[in-house]
Amino acid sequence: MSQENLSYTEAIEKLQHLVNKIDVCMFCSAIRNGSLHAVPMSRQEIDDTGAIWFLLSAESDTCKNVLEDPRVQLLYAHVSDYNFMTVTGSAVISRDPQRIEKYWSKFTEAWFEKGKEDPNIRIMKVTVEDAHYWDNKANKLVTFLKLAASAVTGSKLDMGREGDIDLPGNA
């Protein structure tokens, strides 16, 4: 696997590409005993600065954990394409009515039965501090064929890329 560390515009574009492609992450927040609380969460948006936005309930364990300790980790996996990413960041919870309006959809309605005015609906912004990705250069079939050829010939093949994503302001 080749190393490809990205910064500035390339870093934000790679982060946006993988977050938008994979969408659902395992969102990990800290809890008091030192273990992690992990739940699947779908992003609402990844903006031009690389910040990732979510909707959640004020009654959720995730919201309570973030209010107590804003450090979070997001784990992304698109297994069929061999794309993976881990993101470490800091989360902030708000009740921004413009963002609620922006992100409101029929899907969101299923989670918040009282609608946009639900007193428990919250916005969470994750500011990315560190990210690392593993990205396959080809689809699953091509990767399998390359692995088979490598096993038969004993040659080393470049199977993909991995690298750090250094966002502007974090380098």
- Interval 86-117: pLDDT, tens: 999 999 999 999 999 999 998 888 889 888 89
What confidence category does residue 159 fall into, taking pLDDT thresholds of 50, 70 and 90?
low
Q: In the predicted model, is pLDDT for residue 79 greater than 50?
A: yes
pLDDT at 34 (0 to 100): 73
d(CA 163, CA 133): 6
Can you tell me the distance from the alpha carbon of 116 to that of 137, in angstroms, rounded to the nearest whole number? 42
Neighbours of 100 (CB within 10 A): 21
pLDDT at 68 over 70: yes
10, pLDDT greater than 90: no
pLDDT tier for residue 147 given thresholds of 50, 70 and 90: very low
Q: How far apart are CA 48 and CA 15, in angstroms?
A: 10
Average pLDDT over residues 138-146: 49
pLDDT, mean over the chain: 84
Residue with tokens 């609380």: 37
Q: What's the CATH fold of domain 2-166? A: Pnp Oxidase; Chain A (2.30.110)
Q: What is the pLDDT of residue 155?
A: 55
Rounded CA separation 15/29 (Å): 20
**pLDDT at position 109:** 87
The mean pLDDT of 33-44, rounded to a whole number, is 90
Tell me phi and psi for residue 117, to 5 degrees.
-90, 5
Can you give the residue ranges of every domain in the chain?
2-166
Non-local CB neighbours of 108 within 8 Å, separated by 6+ positions: 55
| 155/84: higher pLDDT | 84
Q: Residue 163 has what pLDDT?
A: 65
Q: For the segment 111-135, what is each residue's pLDDT rounded down to a tens digit? A: 898 888 999 999 999 999 999 999 8
Contact 131, 86 (CB under 8 A): yes
Per-residue pLDDT of 21-34, as tens digits, reads: 999 999 999 876 77
H-only helix segments in 3-139: 8-22, 61-68, 97-103, 106-111
